[in-house]
Structure 1
Amino acid sequence: MSKIKLSGKVLRNLGYPEGPVISVAISVIEEHYPDFSQEEAEDLLKQILADPTKYAEDEVLLKIAAPLIPVENKTIPLNEKAVDYSVYGASFIEEGALKQMKMAVRLPVAVAGALMPDAHQGYGLPIGGVLAADNAVIPYAVGVDIGCRMCLSILDLPVDTLATKESNYKRELISFTKFGAGAEWKNNDADPVLERKEFNEIPFLRSLTGKAAGQLGTSGSGNHFVEWGVVEILDAQNEWQLAPGKYVALLSHSGSRGLGAQIAGHYTRVAKDVCPLPKEAQHLAYLDMNTEAGQEYWLAMNLAGDYASACHHLIHKRLIKAMGATMLARIENHHNFAWKEEHQGKELIVHRKGATPAGKGVLGIIPGSMTAPGFIVRGKGQEESLSSASHGAGRQMSRTKAIQSITAEELRKMLRDNGVTLIGGGLDEAPAAYKDIHEVMAAQADLVEVVGQFQPKLVRMADGDGPRED
């Protein structure tokens, strides 16, 4: 007897629909029919697919058959009355983002919401949107780039070396970073995240292990960056006991790469299948946390978040070592993720799509642009914002409009005026495409307090390319 080799690809070729049924079928066959040949296993799966109702009384095979039995597909209506939500910086938030938020808070599972001052239109939940749901998770309210995050390392290097040894900083920045949708390292470091059990226990993830290994320690396209700069610690009572003043720092912004994108796409399709919403709200399809699909996505999402964190840590480790530096402090946070948190007296699933966690005393990073400062912040835990803040300045121009409106010379002048060296990047990421970070910070003064400020000096990005969701 040959060993059974079942995979999502094999089942899809047999005609199985995308969704949790594939994982269930593989698990059931491997557990209960280990002596079957490949041919026998595939034949049984074909029979179940052809007439799932025949297995309604079979205690084992019903697990595969049940999701395949047709059910009446009724559209789930949105609530007529929206739940309450807060808006920060409403005067400079585009209408499209406001409309998306108004729709999101009419979901049957919506409990509360908030819109951050950097908000702009995305897919489903707007970027800058925060939504608390009752026992449900919404893949597109987390976003395509699951676990997209900030990471800032404060180092013991003299600040003047950013000018006197600029060529060294630039050389190492180029040598130890890779950017772009398909970027991979040929030889990569091992990391515990690649040994996580989810890669084996969730069949959908098995085929993604190799790609995840190659892309570990790389960065995406769009607004993702790695940059050297100067951080100024303003708060004498800071958490790291650093003396107020200026330090060299390394700041990075990126997410979970192809792994997160594949997870987002797969479970969004599953959610749309099991949660048919009106057409205008279809990107807000959700998964019940009591279902296998909901639990699968939750595990996969958390894996992607930990993978994103590992990517940042590897980038920082390589660059810090290359410059012969010692890390004095580190601040980091996700901003495309969902958390289980207590609000309104009960546990809710809080989605922050392009929003920074700002619970009381929680530290985070809010970047500006390639020339504008970013900020180290400490959350104030404001319930009205669901303990959230913006994830950056936010776009005021679409990528297409920025490319059409901003010239290369205008970008070069702005970089010169601010003393910034740019490696890669494109007109779609020009500072003028972004809102004024100072206005954004003023609009959320009740949500966070500023602990420090970061000014970019050498910025590494992917070459300008197509649109993406931040």
Structure 2
Amino acid sequence: MSYETLNLKTPSPVLSWAGHQLGDLESKMAQNVASLPFVFKHVALMPDVHLGKGALVGSVIATEEALIPAAVGVDIGCGMMALQMPFTGDRLDGKLKTIRQQIEAAIPVGFNENKNVETSVTNWMGWRQFKDLHRGVARLEGKALKQMGSLGGGNHFIEICLDEDNNVWLMLHSGSRHIGNMLAQYHIDTAKELAKLAQIELPDRDLAYFVAKTPEFDAYWRDLQWAQDYARFNRKVMMDRLKRIVEQQVAGGKPLQPKLVVNCHHNYAEKEVHFDREVYVTRKGAVRARENDYGIIPGSMGAKSYIVKGKGNAESYCSCSHGAGRLMSRSKAKKSFTLDDLVAQTDGVECRKDKGVIDEIPGAYKPIDRVMAQQSDLVEVVATLKQVLCVKG
């Protein structure tokens, strides 16, 4: 057992896999969530837990008959995708710079979007449901179309990695882009307004919630599921482009069959059965890890990442961490590290090495080895990866 029950005076216990004492603000945030009347059994905190908005990033929250939009967050469906390719790293020798340039030309990053919308995007069946969304979102359909197959910014990335046996892996991290953000903000604001009108006392305004079987809950659930589907397909569109680029360089454009495909959310909510009860499970910076579920736990742009298989640990609601977790804020990272630090910490990686990505320097994140050691009861490691190429959002 690698978790501890935190010494918090709350109706629902808080189980932590962090392996260290939480800071005062982190403890208060955990206490706020565990004090809500609809929380089921306990709250689980993953090894990479850190401050978020309303709820800690790295929280797994099971609830009965209610959902907290801000606990899911604004990047609905954010997650990871990885392919194990059927060749080894020697096939990439001398080609990484060209591949990076082609990735940057083919996949928009930051606030950029696609100039042309490809057929696979326009044919996505999710657009049929899009017309049912409220008018405030439907007007954004054009932007959502053009952003499908784009990376976004922040800690989103595209990587080519090698495992311990020199096998090549393609990996990326992204979510539901602008449309997911707009959906989330709309429902977060609605929940806050309802709480205000009903004079509901909350420990934090960002914990405003919807009650099941109400029109507001139903609207949020519909939009949440749609945005999660958008995010999953967005990753697939980018991965297809990335795969074609690599195939062109190593196989003359011949399609290659991946040995393993993993595509998992880590900011989302679903209905699941735990302890013989159907509940809503919100994973805010956590990956589902039922027995034999495959998951992805990335480090940072200069650290190892892991492909894992879940062990189905009931106390964690069958969950594991979604990454290393930030050790310091972006602003603090920019003040703490120099360009020389970035160059040193990303040695051997084909990537940007400029001031624009200092906030993503490996030193700004928790040591991934320590995070992995805290969840040996949650997952088993399938492959350990080290990136040789990284494109940041």
TM over 0.5: yes
Distance in 2, Cα, partners of 1:97 & 1:87: 12
Matched to 1:171, the amino acid is Q
**Higher RCO (CA-CA < 8 Å; seq separation 6+):** 2
Distance in 1, Cα, partners of 2:35 & 2:124: 37
Shift of 1:117: 1.1
Matched to 2:312, the amino acid is G
| Mapping of residues 43-122 of structure 1, within 5 Å | 81-91=10-20, 93-111=22-40, 112-122=42-52
| Mapping of residues 4-403 of structure 1, within 5 Å | 81-91=10-20, 93-111=22-40, 112-180=42-110, 182-190=111-119, 191=121, 192-193=123-124, 195-203=126-134, 204-232=136-164, 245-276=165-196, 277-278=200-201, 280-324=203-247, 325-328=255-258, 329-403=260-334
Shift of 1:444: 0.8
Distance in 2, Cα, partners of 1:450 & 1:124: 31
Matched to 2:73, the amino acid is G
Matched to 2:175, the amino acid is G
Residue deviations 1:207-249 (CA, integer Å, cap 9, x gap): 12111101010011110001111134xxxxxxxxxxxx33111
Residue deviations 1:379-427 (CA, integer Å, cap 9, x gap): 11111111111100001111111000001111111112xx112137511
Residue deviations 1:137-180 (CA, integer Å, cap 9, x gap): 11111111000010001112431133332233222222222111
The answer to whether the Cα contact below 8 Å between 2:14 and 2:43 also exists between their aligned partners in 1 is yes
Shift of 1:93: 4.3
Bigger Cα displacement from structure 2, 214-223 vs 157-166: 157-166
The count of aligned residue pairs is 368
Classify the secondary structure of the residue corresponding to 2:340. helix
TM-score under structure 1 normalisation? 0.75
Bigger Cα displacement from structure 2, 130-139 vs 154-163: 154-163
The answer to whether the Cα contact below 8 Å between 2:97 and 2:350 also exists between their aligned partners in 1 is no
C-alpha RMSD of matched pairs (Å): 1.7
Shift of 1:279: 5.6
Classify the secondary structure of the residue corresponding to 1:311. helix
Classify the secondary structure of the residue corresponding to 1:104. helix
Q: Which of 408, 416, 422 is 2:351 aligned to?
A: 422
Q: Who wins on radius of gyration, i.e. which is larger? A: 1
Classify the secondary structure of the residue corresponding to 2:11. coil
Shift of 1:133: 0.5
Shift of 1:105: 0.9
Distance in 2, Cα, partners of 1:138 & 1:399: 26
Distance in 2, Cα, partners of 1:205 & 1:193: 18
Stretches of structure 2 that go unaligned for 5 or more consecutive residues are 1-8, 248-254
TM-score under structure 2 normalisation? 0.90
Stretches of structure 1 that go unaligned for 5 or more consecutive residues are 1-79, 233-244, 463-470
Distance in 2, Cα, partners of 1:162 & 1:423: 19
Distance in 1, Cα, partners of 2:349 & 2:141: 37
Distance in 1, Cα, partners of 2:361 & 2:11: 37
Residue deviations 1:31-56 (CA, integer Å, cap 9, x gap): xxxxxxxxxxxxxxxxxxxxxxxxxx
Q: Which residue of 1 aligns with 2:5?
A: none
Q: Quickly say closer, same or farther: Cα 1:135–1:185, change in 2 above 3 A.
A: same
Classify the secondary structure of the residue corresponding to 2:89. coil
Matched to 2:69, the amino acid is P
Distance in 2, Cα, partners of 1:176 & 1:248: 20
Distance in 1, Cα, partners of 2:384 & 2:174: 20
Classify the secondary structure of the residue corresponding to 2:185. helix
The answer to whether the Cα contact below 8 Å between 2:269 and 2:282 also exists between their aligned partners in 1 is yes
Distance in 2, Cα, partners of 1:378 & 1:94: 30
Bigger Cα displacement from structure 2, 208-217 vs 186-195: 186-195
Distance in 2, Cα, partners of 1:326 & 1:92: 47
Shift of 1:198: 3.0
Distance in 2, Cα, partners of 1:97 & 1:144: 20
Distance in 1, Cα, partners of 2:69 & 2:55: 10
Residue deviations 1:80-139 (CA, integer Å, cap 9, x gap): 842123101241644322321111011111112100110110101110011001011111
Matched to 1:414, the amino acid is Q
Distance in 2, Cα, partners of 1:360 & 1:93: 29
Distance in 2, Cα, partners of 1:403 & 1:440: 23
Classify the secondary structure of the residue corresponding to 2:306. strand
Matched to 1:165, the amino acid is K
Distance in 2, Cα, partners of 1:95 & 1:442: 24
The answer to whether the Cα contact below 8 Å between 1:152 and 1:249 also exists between their aligned partners in 2 is yes
Distance in 2, Cα, partners of 1:125 & 1:409: 35
Q: Percent identity?
A: 37
Distance in 2, Cα, partners of 1:304 & 1:224: 17
Distance in 2, Cα, partners of 1:196 & 1:400: 38
Q: Quickly say closer, same or farther: Cα 1:440–1:198, change in 2 above 3 A.
A: same
Matched to 1:254, the amino acid is S
